[in-house]
Amino acid sequence: MIEFNGVSVTYPTGVKALKNIDLAINKGEFVVVVGMSGAGKSTLMKCINRMVEPTVGSLKVNGKEVTQLKESQLRKLRTRIGIIFQDYNLIKRMSVLRNVMVGRLGHTPTLSSLIGRFPQSDLELAMNNLKRVGIDEKAYTRADYLSGGQQQRVSIARVLTQQPQIILADEPVASLDPPTSHQVMRDLKRVSKEDGLTTLVNLHFIDLAMEYADRIIGMREGEIVFDGPIGEVTEETFEEIYGRPIRAEEIIGGQ
Amino acid sequence: MEKSTAKKNKIRLFKPGTSFKIFGVVLAVLSLYWAAINQTQASLNRILSSFPILYRMLVEDFFPPDFSYLPRVVSQLVETFNIALLSTTLAAFLAFPMLFFSSSTVNRNPLSYSGIRLVMTVVRSIPNIIMVVLMVALVGLGPVSGIIALTVYSAAILIKLTSESVETIDKRPIQAIKAMGGNTLQTIAYGVVPQIFPVYLSHILYVLEVNLKASVVLGFVGAGGIGQLIRRQMSLFRYDRLGLIIFVLFLAISTIDYISQTLRSKLV
């Protein structure tokens, strides 16, 4: 359960990225946030694990106020929030398995993690998650030897190995080609449903959003201009969100 | 009419005035050369007239080398190598944690950051010969003074070389580890170290090469090893032995440079 109450974010440059957001996301929902670039999608997401500090307002995750957390409490919260980046953010020179184990760092005593001594059960968890996204045979390959789609699946496995309650995915398929984008989105949706996770995905392709979302949130200029279940969404909804007709580059195709 | 406007707007490859600037720079450099030649009273004649002396020294004094002296040379060479190896190893361990303090990517505390940078600059600005002379005064003649001086000096070089690589690493994995709840040490171990480790190993090998040559020179001022031997044989005018020392040194240094460069090209 994620609750935004009157959250605003003003960046030091004076840009108002979020304006008085009220929003509640329920456990287990697969929510896609759409909007043009600069609409505040990424800021909305980064507030949840406080990679961006809300300027005013209250933000609760599972009933706990996030904006008041101290450094160590914040780290604890972050171990339960998985994040998937557009550029995967893997450590290129490290093996796939070690990259996945990075997701376990927050659950491992510092000294053990520094010398690379993880409990066998954690390694099994990581290996199993690699299997779930279909790249377990690449476990000992260097991360940068993998294709983009494979790297993004490693980062999904890394997030799962955190055993999170929430997954945040910030433009997860923006660097991938259409067929790979569909595969990655399918994997993401499947594992998050299997584990009952609350998932927030930023996308700018409207057909991808339509296909995978349970619920769509539309943003424009720092405000939520649409919020509703997928059943209520039509092409006109997107034209309202964007404030103009849909363009060809907003449709990924494929599938 | 048309022709004259075309002439007026003639397009030049370089900005107008560039040739003036180049002329000025060339003139300045030439006058520096002239001043240098005047100051040192160098002349081609003096260089040419030294060739017969050089020839006599190489052929008559160095040959034949005194091969009976080989065991002594080799044992001192081993000492020189050990000085270089020990000081490089110690420096590598000393420099490693400091790397992260002296890099703004990891160390966000401006006070300790600029403090360490300042100490490093001071240490590097002391020529290592002076450092050995100081150490000889402190701990006496012999290899220990050389090891201490070279350790300090090469740690400073290692930090300087590698902390620049730390500044330019990919920050996105670090962001990811922090976002997943990793603490500072875990961020360093999993986000920074894998990215800089090959570069660091390569720099260690390079510093070993440099230290080997430096420890030969340092022997001259009393830091033990083959340098000390060279100095003694020179003052005894035993050029036959000196010839042997130089030959062995040449072989040893080129072999180690070759090995180290092969390894380094595999690393990065």
Give the whole-angstrom CA distance, residue B27 versus residue A16: 57
Look at A89 and B189 and tell me if their CB atoms are within 8 Å. no
For chain A, give the percent of residues with pLDDT over 70.
100
Instruction: Determine the pLDDT at residue B129.
Output: 79
Instruction: Determine the pLDDT at residue B87.
Output: 93
B162, B200 contact by CB (below 8 A): yes
Q: Which of B180, B182, B191 sits opposite A83 (nearest CB)?
A: B180
Residue A221 reports pLDDT greater than 70 = yes
Q: Which of B177, B178, B181 sits opposite A76 (nearest CB)?
A: B181
Contacts of B175 in chain A (CB under 8 A): 51, 85, 89
Instruction: Determine the pLDDT at residue B6.
Output: 52
User: If you measure CA to CA, which chain A residue comes closest to B179?
Assistant: A78
Residue A198 reports pLDDT greater than 60 = yes
A198-202 and A166-170 beta bridge pairing:
parallel
Tokens representing B206 are 């390079």
Contacts of A114 in chain B (CB under 8 A): 185-186, 189
Look at A94 and B194 and tell me if their CB atoms are within 8 Å. yes
B180, A82 contact by CB (below 8 A): yes
Reported as type and span, the H/E element at residue A209 is helix A206-212
The CATH code for residues B69-267 is 1.10.3720.10
User: If you measure CA to CA, which chain B residue comes closest to A47?
Assistant: B179
Q: Which of A91, A98, A162 sits opposite B180 (nearest CB)?
A: A162
Give the whole-angstrom CA distance, residue A6 versus residue A58: 7
Question: A50-85: per-residue pLDDT in tens?
Answer: 999 999 999 999 989 999 899 889 999 999 999 999
Which residues span the domain enclosing A103? Answer: 87-163
Residue A217 reports pLDDT greater than 80 = yes
How many residues does the structure list for chain B?
A: 268
Residue in this structure with the two tokens 């002439």, named with its chain if needed: B7
Tokens representing B258 are 């070759």
Look at A90 and B191 and tell me if their CB atoms are within 8 Å. no
Question: A130-165: per-residue pLDDT in tens?
Answer: 999 999 999 999 999 999 999 999 999 999 999 999
Q: Is the peptide bond before B64 cis (omega within 30 degrees of 0)?
A: yes
Give the whole-angstrom CA distance, residue B204 versus residue B89: 8
Look at A114 and B185 and tell me if their CB atoms are within 8 Å. yes
Tell me whether residue A210 is in a domain: no
A56-61 and A2-10 beta bridge pairing:
antiparallel
Alpha carbon of A23: minimum distance to chain B alpha carbons (Å): 22
Instruction: Determine the pLDDT at residue B217.
Output: 84
Taking Cα atoms as reference points, which of B160, B166, B201 lies closest to residue B187?
A: B166
Question: A1-22: per-residue pLDDT in tens?
Answer: 899 999 999 999 989 999 999 9
Name residue A218's beta-bridge partners. Answer: A34, A226
Tell me whether residue A27 is in a domain: no
Question: A86-133: per-residue pLDDT in tens?
Answer: 999 999 989 999 999 999 999 999 999 999 899 999 999 999 999 999
Alpha carbon of B171: minimum distance to chain A alpha carbons (Å): 9
Taking Cα atoms as reference points, which of B128, B268, B145, B126 lies closest to residue B198?
A: B268
Q: How do the pLDDT tens digits run along chain B, 268 residues long?
A: 455 555 667 888 888 888 899 999 999 999 999 999 888 887 888 888 888 888 887 777 777 778 888 888 899 899 889 989 999 999 999 999 888 888 777 777 888 888 888 888 888 888 877 887 888 888 887 788 888 888 988 998 898 888 888 888 899 999 999 999 898 899 999 999 999 999 999 999 999 999 988 888 888 877 778 888 888 888 888 888 888 888 888 999 899 989 988 998 888 7
Residue A91 CB partners (closer than 8 Å, separation 6+): A98, A99, A102, A143, B173, B190, B191, B194, B195
Tokens representing B196 are 């800089």
Contacts of B233-241 with CB under 8 Å at 24 or more apart are B238/B66, B239/B57, B239/B61, B239/B62, B240/B61, B240/B62, B240/B63, B240/B64, B240/B65, B240/B66, B241/B65, B241/B66, B241/B69, B241/B73
pTM above 0.80, yes or no: no
Reported as type and span, the H/E element at residue A236 is helix A235-242
Taking Cα atoms as reference points, which of A152, A167, A154 lies closest to residue A98?
A: A154
Tell me whether residue A139 is in a domain: yes
CA atoms within 13 A on the CB side of B159: 28
Handedness of CA B200, B203, B207, B209 (dihedral sign): positive
Per DSSP, helices labelled H in chain B are 2-8, 18-40, 44-49, 51-56, 70-101, 110-125, 128-139, 143-167, 172-179, 184-187, 193-220, 226-235, 239-267
Interface contact B227, partner A, CB < 8 A? no
Tell me whether residue A147 is in a domain: yes
**Count of domains observed in chain A:** 1
Amino acid type, B43: S
Tell me whether residue A126 is in a domain: yes
Look at A106 and B180 and tell me if their CB atoms are within 8 Å. yes
A224, A31 contact by CB (below 8 A): no
Give the whole-angstrom CA distance, residue B235 versus residue B241: 12
Give the whole-angstrom CA distance, residue B236 versus residue B230: 10
Residue A25 reports pLDDT greater than 70 = yes
Contacts of A158 in chain B (CB under 8 A): 180
Q: Which of A75, A89, A93 sits opposite B183 (nearest CB)?
A: A75
Tokens representing A127 are 């290996």
Tokens representing A96 are 């796939």
Task: Tell me the C-alpha to C-alpha distance, in Å, between residue A29 and each of A3, A79, A165, A223, A235.
Answer: 13, 20, 11, 21, 22
A16, A50 contact by CB (below 8 A): no
A90, A151 contact by CB (below 8 A): yes
Look at A79 and B172 and tell me if their CB atoms are within 8 Å. no
Residue B265 burial (CB count, 10 A): 9
